[in-house]
């Protein structure tokens, strides 16, 4: 079983380097047990190759660089994200990064002009993200993702392990603080996403991501102005696809 007990208590990480290093080690052991024991050969990491992604990618690569990494290219991403994927893949020695794209026939039928994001972003996310990922996860019993409680909103009460759509979802960084993330980047000299320097603290598709302002939540630039905070892959992987009738 995954050793939940290795997670430290849910409390803000103090500015204490030994405690931070202990959290890093505990998370790595959590992942090692999941990848090499509990779900050996049946687990994948899902990564957006966004601003914080290098941490989880580095942890997983340090355990087994052949672990499947699923990356959904919605065909609406920033070119900087694609370059970051290539950079991290090479730097970390990842050997099984799978880039998944939406089905061209369904794109032609449902979003022929590529502007569904403007008219119905939930349907666009379902078509370009949720559906391709759902298909790519077939054959896996568990998947790892990088959500954290400090992202706020729906993520504020995130558990380390969840069950959803018949699979186990592991959130190994759920209790990490921004300082834990920064500490890990520094400790391992990890490269940054190029758009971070332009004020993007959370990066998804180009039409639906904007820089954040001082004092805003990290994800405030996602779907700015809309009553939408998640793309859907963490709500359900079997959504109704509006717009196809
Ligand atoms: S984030 Fe925007 S462009 Fe990307 S799939 Fe969702 S609605 Fe479409």
Does residue 206 carry a pLDDT above 50? yes
Distance, in Å, from the CA atom of 81 to the CA atom of 87, rounded to the nearest integer, reads 10
Does residue 182 carry a pLDDT above 80? yes
Does residue 44 carry a pLDDT above 60? yes
What pLDDT does residue 87 have? 98
Q: pTM higher than 0.85, yes or no? A: yes
What pLDDT does residue 221 have? 79
Chain segment 84-95, per-residue pLDDT in tens = 999 999 999 999
Residues 6+ apart with CB under 8 A from 152: 217, 219
What pLDDT does residue 5 have? 34
Active site residue 231: yes
What pLDDT does residue 15 have? 57
pLDDT band at 240 (very low <50, low <70, confident <90, very high): very low
User: Which residues is 46 bridged to in the sheet?
Assistant: 70
Tokens 């430290």 locate to 8
Which one of 125, 205, 208, 231 is the catalytic residue? 231
What pLDDT does residue 217 have? 81
Helices (H), 93-237: 104-110, 116-119, 121-125, 131-136, 178-188
Contacts 24+ apart (CB under 8 A), 204-213: 204/48, 204/50, 204/77, 204/231, 205/74, 205/76, 205/77, 205/117, 205/128, 206/76, 206/77, 206/78, 207/76, 207/117, 207/118, 208/76, 208/117, 208/121, 209/78
20 Cβ inside 6 Å of ligand 1: no
Chain segment 66-122, per-residue pLDDT in tens = 999 999 999 999 999 999 999 999 999 999 999 999 999 999 999 999 999 999 999
CA of 143 relative to ligand 1 center, distance in Å: 22
Does residue 236 carry a pLDDT above 60? no
Domains annotated for the chain, with CATH where assigned, are 15-104+132-198 (3.40.50.620)
Does residue 241 carry a pLDDT above 50? no
CA of 153 relative to ligand 1 center, distance in Å: 19
Chain segment 122-180, per-residue pLDDT in tens = 999 999 999 999 999 999 999 999 999 988 777 788 899 999 889 999 999 999 999 99
Average predicted confidence (pLDDT) for the chain: 87
Closest CA to 218 of 125, 130, 149: 149
Closest CA to 219 of 211, 133, 227: 211
From 81, 132, 204, 206, give the residue whose CB has the most ligand 1 atoms within 8 Å, as the site to mutate. Answer: 204
Structure-block tokens of residue 183: 């500490």
CA of 172 relative to ligand 1 center, distance in Å: 25
- Tell me the average pLDDT across 207-221: 85
């Amino acid at each position: 079983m995954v050793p939940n007990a290795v997670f430290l208590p849910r409390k803000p990480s103090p500015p204490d380097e030994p405690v931070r290093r202990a959290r890093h080690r505990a998370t790595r052991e959590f992942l090692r047990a999941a990848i090499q024991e509990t779900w050996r050969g049946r687990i994948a990491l899902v990564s957006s190759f966004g601003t914080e992604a290098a941490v989880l990618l580095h942890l997983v690569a340090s355990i087994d660089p052949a672990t499947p990494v699923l990356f959904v290219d919605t065909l609406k991403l920033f070119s900087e994200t694609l370059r970051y994927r290539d950079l991290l893949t090479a730097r970390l020695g990842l050997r099984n990064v799978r880039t998944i794209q939406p089905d061209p026939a369904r794109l032609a039928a449902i979003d022929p002009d590529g502007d569904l994001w403007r008219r119905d972003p939930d349907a666009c996310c379902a078509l370009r993200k949720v559906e391709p990922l759902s298909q790519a996860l077939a054959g896996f019993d568990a998947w790892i993702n990088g959500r954290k409680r400090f992202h706020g909103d729906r993520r504020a009460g995130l558990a380390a392990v969840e069950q959803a759509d018949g699979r186990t979802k592991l959130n190994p960084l759920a209790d990490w603080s921004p300082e834990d993330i920064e500490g890990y980047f520094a400790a391992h000299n990890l490269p940054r996403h190029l758009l971070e320097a332009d004020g993007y603290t959370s990066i998804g598709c180009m039409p639906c991501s904007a820089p954040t302002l001082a004092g805003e939540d990290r994800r405030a630039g996602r779907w700015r102005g809309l009553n939408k905070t998640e793309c859907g892959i963490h709500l359900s992987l079997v959504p109704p696809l509006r717009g196809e009738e």
